[in-house]
Amino acid sequence: MRVLYVINGFDPGGAEHGLVTLVESGAFDGHDLRILALCRGRGELADRIARKLGEDVRFVTTGETLTLWACVAGFFAVVRAALPFRPQKMVLSLKQANVVGRLAALLLPRVTCVAFEHIGEYRARRLQRIYGPLLRLLSARVDEVWADCAETLETTRRYFRPRRRAEHVIPLFVAEGQAPFKGDYVLGRPFRVAAAGRLVARKNVPLMIEAVDALLGQGADVTLDIYGDGPQKAALDRVIGGRAVQNRVRLHGYCADWPEQAAEAADIFLNMSDTEGFCIAVAEAMLTGLPVIAVETGGIRDYGRDGENMLKLTAPDAQAASAAILRLANDTSLRERLGRQARVDMLRDYDAAACRRQVANALSSGRQTEAAEKT
């Protein structure tokens, strides 16, 4: 099958990293895949996907950030790419790529248009009120919806006008057996809490800092290591300075190897997002065997079991997080039981074979035009 995959760019984020994971896991093997990125993005992911696919990856613009010009140019680039390639399916990932791709798809009536959803609520620093109504209007052209977890599939339905569509859940995560994992569960001194993800409001990092600060106030010997970058970094520096916890809370920035670092040094992993898609960071922490504390949202509802492979919070709350951290810090057997079971569950349910099977099912479904089948 010929597949044109349109994405914003290759910033070190969940959807972008997830596409690289799908490709490297062989999910599109046997298909003719072309990727069109509206911009290059930050970090090494663009080079990584280019090494894998060569000229089948194209960048509309080579800048690190997505601009209005890149979106406008992207519309024409999609049409120019689709006319000679004649894709049977066009997969659109992230909201700007969905706007651009759906508009282009109006000129490409024989292409099956797929919206790949990665989070249940559209949020943006700019044009927040526009994206939802605009994408709902353009949803008339969407033939299929893929989502990274069941909750994303359910909650994003409000952004689509009613019509019959195929729907598929495709988690953007593959558990590799050779991934680093914890060797023992002896509590460090100080004991270390780790967190990872893009520094945006929905991650509730200030609440993590508040939880650790509360533990320090109770005399706990604890540190917090936060792996990730994003628009809230300056604000978080101010929060850390305001609470005078600079020697206890560290912002490491984006680290591609954070799971390896955390597996070696951290004792507990904390996630306090109020909204998530699949949540690759939590899945990666579970794969390393770290005992996880997480708010029940997004894909965490699917793979997280409270008291069995993680401790769940009902809402992002600093006091509840402090209590959960202290509970794990005081119970070595609980840390080990949760961590080991988490790794077993990830390896069992999210291996490469499962990934390839899910993508194969999605690619084989939906409408195919007679012309596409004959070519």
Do 129 and 23 sit in the same domain of this protein?
yes
Do 12 and 159 sit in the same domain of this protein?
yes
In angstroms, the CA 17 to CA 10 distance is 7
Q: Indicate whether 109 belongs to any domain.
A: yes
Q: Indicate whether 152 belongs to any domain.
A: yes
Q: Indicate whether 181 belongs to any domain.
A: no
Q: In the prediction, which pLDDT does 368 show?
A: 44
What is the number of structural domains in the chain? 2
Q: In the prediction, which pLDDT does 128 show?
A: 62
Q: Indicate whether 22 belongs to any domain.
A: yes
Range from 15-19, 57-61, 76-80 carrying the lowest mean pLDDT = 15-19
Q: 135 in the Ramachandran plot: left (φ > 0), alpha (ψ -120 to 50) or beta?
A: alpha
In angstroms, the CA 280 to CA 278 distance is 6
pLDDT, average across residues 348-367:
90
Do 237 and 302 sit in the same domain of this protein?
yes
The answer, as to whether pTM is greater than 0.85, is: yes
Do 356 and 327 sit in the same domain of this protein?
no
Do 133 and 212 sit in the same domain of this protein?
no
Taking only Cα atoms into account, the Rg of the chain, rounded to an integer number of angstroms, comes to 21
Do 364 and 299 sit in the same domain of this protein?
no
- Summarised one tens digit per residue, pLDDT across range 294-316 is 999 999 999 999 999 999 999 99
Do 202 and 133 sit in the same domain of this protein?
no
- For residue 253, the SS3 value is strand
- Summarised one tens digit per residue, pLDDT across range 23-56 is 999 999 999 999 999 999 988 899 999 999 999 9
- Summarised one tens digit per residue, pLDDT across range 133-192 is 999 999 999 999 999 999 999 999 999 999 999 999 999 999 988 888 998 999 999 999
Pair 105, 97: CB distance under 8 Å? no
